[in-house]
Amino acid sequence: MLKITGAILLLAGSTGIGFSIFMEMKQRLCHIRSLHHMFTLLESEIGYVRATMEEACLALCPKFAQPYRGFLEQICKEMADNRGSSFASLWKKAVREQLAGLPLKESDWEILEKFADYTGHMDLTLQRKLIAYEIEDFSRLAAQIEKEIAGKGRLCLTFGVMGGLFLTVVFL
**Each residue of 106-119: pLDDT tens digit?**
888 888 888 887 77
Contact 124, 50 (CB under 8 A): yes
Model confidence at 1: pLDDT above 80: yes
- Residue 84 banded pLDDT, cuts 50, 70, 90: confident
Q: Identity (one letter) of the amino acid at 139? A: S
Contact 72, 56 (CB under 8 A): no
What's the pLDDT score for residue 29?
95
Sequence-separated (6 or more) residues with CB below 8 Å from residue 124: 46, 47, 50
- Residue 138 banded pLDDT, cuts 50, 70, 90: very high
Contact 168, 25 (CB under 8 A): no
| Mean pLDDT estimate for the chain | 87
Model confidence at 46: pLDDT above 80: yes
What's the pLDDT score for residue 28?
93
23 φ, ψ (degrees, to nearest 5): -70, -35
What's the pLDDT score for residue 146?
94
Q: Which residue has the higher pLDDT, 89 or 121?
A: 89
Across the range 126-152, mean pLDDT stands at 90
Model confidence at 32: pLDDT above 90: yes
What's the pLDDT score for residue 120?
60
Contact 28, 18 (CB under 8 A): no
